Amino acid sequence: MQSRPARCRSHWTTAKSARAPSATCRTCPGQSLKIDESFVDPIVNSASGTALSEVVIKVAQATVLRAVAEGVETLEQAAALRHLGCHRG
């Protein structure tokens, strides 16, 4: 009996407590990299907040993942993320 290959759908997150097993990363790559809302909150008023989000977005772009921001609450945050290249938020 042949088994069909498993379909993988995963999303890696930038949250501090998240851990992704390396074996899973190699065999089942994620589809998106989520930007934690703690990085999104200061994006409009802080250079360091912008820098952190920008780094996550660049990593997503370099690894052919979609960047998805969590906790976007204002139009200014959404515009800043779009300007940096975030796909959704």
Going along the chain, which residue ranges are E strands? 11-13, 32-35, 66-69
Report if residue 42 sits inside a domain.
Answer: yes
Does some domain include residue 23?
no
Quick check: is 66 in a domain? yes
The number of distinct structural domains making up the chain is: 1
Query: Is the confidence at residue 44, as pLDDT, over 50?
Result: yes
In a domain, 43, yes or no: yes
Question: Does a structural domain hold residue 21?
Answer: no
> Which of these, 7, 12, 9, lies nearest to 60 by C-alpha position?
12
Give the burial class of 66: count Cβ atoms within 10 A of its Cβ; 0-12 exposed, 13-18 middle, 19 or more buried.
Answer: middle
Per residue in 47-58, pLDDT (tens digit) is: 887 888 999 899
Which residues span the domain enclosing 45? Answer: 28-84
Residue among 67, 19, 61, 10 at smallest CA distance from 43: 67
Residue 49 or residue 28, greater confidence: 49
pTM of the model: 0.66
Closest by Cα among 18, 8, 9 to 56: 18
Does some domain include residue 32?
yes
